[in-house]
């Protein structure tokens, strides 16, 4: 075994780094959140689309030279994607943006640093005021 103890120590340091643990937590939370969003789409949004479309999902195929093109399934996938993206936006992105806006209101904006030209003009202005 070449440097077995050193390899294990290095592996332990790698695993215990904050970014690796944070990434693992993000993957687990992301998978759980994906399940929630998918179920929201399946349980509520897809039935709503079926109600709007008259009780069925979009369906349809056509055939060219014996090859079946299932455009209905593609349309359903597009609708599911749009509904999933809307759910993520309205349930996660929008509320987080609002929270960040509220947090930012309490902070003082950073004063902009003057460029060399502005600084020079300010010095000229102040010098002219002193002469008067």
Rounded to whole angstroms, the Cα distance separating 19 from 16 reads 9
What is the number of domains present in the chain? 1
pLDDT of residue 66: 92
Read off the pTM: 0.48
Is 50 contained in some domain? yes
Q: Quick check: is 129 in a domain?
A: no
Is the pLDDT at 131 greater than 70, yes or no?
Answer: yes
Q: How far is CA 60 from each of CA 63, 65, 117, rounded to the nearest angstrom?
A: 11, 17, 66
Above 70 in pLDDT, residue 61? yes
CATH number of the structural domain spanning residue 60:
1.10.1200.120
Give the range of the structural domain holding residue 88, as residue numbers without chain letter. Answer: 14-104
Range ranked top by mean pLDDT from 18-22, 38-42, 69-73, 127-131: 127-131
Collapsing DSSP to helix, strand or coil, 4 comes out as: helix
């Amino acid at each position: 075994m070449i440097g077995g103890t050193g390899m294990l120590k290095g592996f332990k340091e790698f695993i215990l780094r904050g970014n690796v643990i944070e990434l693992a937590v993000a993957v687990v939370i992301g998978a759980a959140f994906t399940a929630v969003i998918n179920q929201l789409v399946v349980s509520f949004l897809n039935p709503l689309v079926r109600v709007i479309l008259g009780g069925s999902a979009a369906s349809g195929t056509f055939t060219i030279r014996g090859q079946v093109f299932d455009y209905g399934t593609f349309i359903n996938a597009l609708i599911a994607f749009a509904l999933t993206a809307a759910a993520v936006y309205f349930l996660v992105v929008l509320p987080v943006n609002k929270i960040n806006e509220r947090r930012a209101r309490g902070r003082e904006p950073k004063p902009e640093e003057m460029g060399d030209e502005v600084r020079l003009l300010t010095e000229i202005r102040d010098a002219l005021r002193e002469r008067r």
